[in-house]
Structure 1
Amino acid sequence: MSTPIELEPGATTAQQEPVAQGEGRIEGRSLGQIAWSRLKRDKVALGGGVFVLFLILVAFCAPLVVGLLGHPPDEFHQELIDPNTQIPIGPYGGMSWDFLYGLEPVNGRDIFSRVIYGSQISLLIAFFATLLSVVIGTVLGVMAAYFGGAIDTLISRTMDVFLAFPILVFALALVGVVPDQAFGLKGDSLRIAVIIFVIGFFNWPYIGRIIRGQTLSLRAREFVDAARSLGARTPYILFKELLPNLVAPILVYATLLIPANILFEAGLSFLGVGVQAPRATWGGMLSDAAQWYQIDPWFMLWPGLAIFVTVLAFNLFGDGLRDALDPRSR
């Protein structure tokens, strides 16, 4: 039998001090909190995201911005145009505090105002076309991977057909023959709706393949087998188990698809089959500036720079978001 340990006079046994409430507690973090902490460390991606939010705000408040810093986009200022050369009077394309980006040749419209209003068309078409592609691609990709068999074969072969389809040629043919009025729409509203449909409907296979691959991986995971063994029905598994785990790749691909749609819309407008004049679009402004770039390069600079910076910001933000949502990154 062991002998008790004798303590020196004045010595006391060590007792565990009570932990103050909230101290020493390890709190778990959600996937959103982990992704946000990673994204904050990526200053380049965060800067791209801030610029995207700024651009959306400017496009939404275009009338207010133009009212404070510019002139109406279709207002002519021919008194500021040289009658001999048809280019703006003054250096740098007529840039001044009154006309921040200068004026267009011949008619003297404010380039700054038209660039601001052009952002509305580009972002509107890009966002809704991306939304259409994401919805169709997600639904068909999940169905193909989850049900398999003949459904997977049919959807996969349909994807192959759409991927081989010459979308640019089809867009040129379809948008070029759009009537003045159809489906209760007319004018620019009808053209915008047709462009959104063409871009969104024919781009869904790209995200559909990604979602199909992700769903094939998730379908074999333990939590899906556990839900199925507990008697969960197909709608529950799809909406409660699979879709929440597909949010990350959907968000990442959507941020990378938006700039591609912006470029596609600008290309259609540049070729003259997009939104028609006098409605301001970045592609349409580049098309008008193509014949003046030798004597007035500033006319081409601003819409081209707007497209470049916008696409770059979306791509940087999309890359950073992909790294932040990647569970393998640290």
Structure 2
Amino acid sequence: MVVGPGTVSDQLPVVPDPAEGAVPGKAVEGRSLGRIAWNRLKRDRVAMAGGSVVIFLILVAVLAPWIVDAFGHPPNQFHQNLIDTSTLVPKGGTGISGEHLFGVEPQNGRDIFSRVVYGARISLLIAFLATLLSVAIGATMGVVAGYFGGWVDSLISRAMDVFLAFPLLVFSIALAGVIPDEAFGLSGDSLRISLLIFIIGFFSWPYIGRIVRGQTLSLREREFIDAARSLGARGPYVIFKEMLPNLVAPILIYATLLIPTNILFEAALSFLGVGIRPPTASWGGMLSQAATFYTVWHFMFFPGMAIFITVLAFNLFGDGLRDALDPKGRR
């Protein structure tokens, strides 16, 4: 039927063809899983604040000699002129001044600011290397136990139970107390640091090993693992190419939460006198010395706050990292 003028069709609006005069739009940019996790982490202000403090502490530890030269004094230099000879406490109570930002120690007058800064090097170095050792051992044992199962899983799991039931603190005190001043070609601070790294790292691997084992047990039943096996992939290939990339997130999360635990453990050993030996500065050792002068508040306050802020920053950053990498497990 021919529609003439004045009919209903003349009153209908003309819809333009979308292909005519279309402006080419911007292509949608794909985002990797890492970038998505980073965007989630950036929105968590508490985690970002903790991460900023962690970066600041690392820079302080690395740049300790230059920071001390600019704002303090050598950590083992005595300032007897600032000590009251009758009470052995700093003159004025703390000795805090423009030259001594955190005051000076009772009895010998060493600069507390410099010793706290140098103590950060000891605590962070031991904590990072001990965590690296425990993660390497724990991740390897956990993946092997979870993937192969059977008697391999039983053997490694029983070894984890033995290590977890071991009285680590008592053993650490005994081992650190019997090691001589020179052993294994090392001496002094190098020997003590290596010993603490070994004790803390080697005996802490079952914690992360059990987590990795549980994740591996779940992953080995997934479709992509079955597909790799059906194509003829052997165990080492499946472990290193298929499983480990999917285990990076839980390993990284637990490592950030294990570092503050190792910092506290190193401080406890130094506090008990079996860690880093004087006159080398360590936060635990400073707290041990401050216990003798418990009435001098600043001597205990600054190393204690250094431990508190460091542990809190790592915990906040670790919680935020867990939420960013595993949003489904977020509370």
Q: TM-score, normalised by structure 2?
A: 0.94
Amino acid at match of 1:63: P
Give 1:297 deviation, angstroms.
1.1
Q: For residues 131-171 of structure 1, what are the alpha-carbon distances to aligned partners after superposition, in whole Å with 9 as ceiling and x for unaligned?
A: 00000000000000000000000000000000000000000
Amino acid at match of 2:315: N
Give 1:27 deviation, angstroms.
3.2
Q: What residue number does 1:288 align with?
A: 289
Q: What residue number does 1:88 align with?
A: 90
Q: What residue number does 1:307 align with?
A: 307
Residues 4, 115 of structure 1: CA spacing in aligned structure 2 closer, same or farther, 3 A cutoff?
farther
Give 1:16 deviation, angstroms.
2.4
Q: What residue number does 2:81 align with?
A: 79
Amino acid at match of 2:229: R
Residues 235, 81 of structure 1: CA spacing in aligned structure 2 closer, same or farther, 3 A cutoff?
same
Distance (Å, rounded) in 1 between the aligned partners of 2:157 and 2:127:
25
Residues 144, 74 of structure 1: CA spacing in aligned structure 2 closer, same or farther, 3 A cutoff?
same
Q: What residue number does 2:256 align with?
A: 255
Give 1:34 deviation, angstroms.
1.1
Distance (Å, rounded) in 2 between the aligned partners of 1:49 and 1:317:
5
Give 1:28 deviation, angstroms.
2.9
Contact kept? 1:115, 1:281, Cα under 8 Å: yes
Structure 2: give runs of 5+ residues left out of the alignment. none
Residues 21, 109 of structure 1: CA spacing in aligned structure 2 closer, same or farther, 3 A cutoff?
farther
Size of the aligned set, in residue pairs, is 326
Amino acid at match of 2:17: A
| Secondary structure class of the residue paired with 2:204 | helix
Contact kept? 1:265, 1:283, Cα under 8 Å: yes
Q: TM-score, normalised by structure 1?
A: 0.94
Contact kept? 1:115, 1:282, Cα under 8 Å: yes
Residue pairs, 1:165-314, within 5 angstroms: 165-294=166-295, 296-314=296-314
Distance (Å, rounded) in 1 between the aligned partners of 2:240 and 2:73:
49
Q: For residues 63-121 of structure 1, what are the alpha-carbon distances to aligned partners after superposition, in whole Å with 9 as ceiling and x for unaligned?
A: 00000000000000000101111111124x11111100000001100000000000000
| Secondary structure class of the residue paired with 1:29 | coil
Residues 68, 85 of structure 1: CA spacing in aligned structure 2 closer, same or farther, 3 A cutoff?
same
| Secondary structure class of the residue paired with 1:150 | helix
Amino acid at match of 2:313: A
Distance (Å, rounded) in 2 between the aligned partners of 1:77 and 1:155:
55
Matched, 1:16 2:19: yes
Give 1:231 deviation, angstroms.
1.9
Q: What residue number does 2:320 align with?
A: 320
Residues 11, 151 of structure 1: CA spacing in aligned structure 2 closer, same or farther, 3 A cutoff?
closer
Distance (Å, rounded) in 1 between the aligned partners of 2:227 and 2:20:
42
Distance (Å, rounded) in 1 between the aligned partners of 2:312 and 2:277:
26
Distance (Å, rounded) in 2 between the aligned partners of 1:147 and 1:239:
14
Distance (Å, rounded) in 1 between the aligned partners of 2:131 and 2:145:
21
Residues 28, 89 of structure 1: CA spacing in aligned structure 2 closer, same or farther, 3 A cutoff?
same
Give 1:8 deviation, angstroms.
5.2
Residues 79, 143 of structure 1: CA spacing in aligned structure 2 closer, same or farther, 3 A cutoff?
same
| Secondary structure class of the residue paired with 1:37 | helix
Residues 254, 17 of structure 1: CA spacing in aligned structure 2 closer, same or farther, 3 A cutoff?
farther
Structure 1: give runs of 5+ residues left out of the alignment. none
Residues 88, 230 of structure 1: CA spacing in aligned structure 2 closer, same or farther, 3 A cutoff?
same
List 4+ stretches of structure 1 deviating above 6 A. Answer: 2-7
Amino acid at match of 1:56: I
Aligned-pair RMSD on alpha carbons? 2.0
Distance (Å, rounded) in 2 between the aligned partners of 1:11 and 1:20:
20
Q: For residues 6-39 of structure 1, what are the alpha-carbon distances to aligned partners after superposition, in whole Å with 9 as ceiling and x for unaligned?
A: 975995752325765552x433321111111111
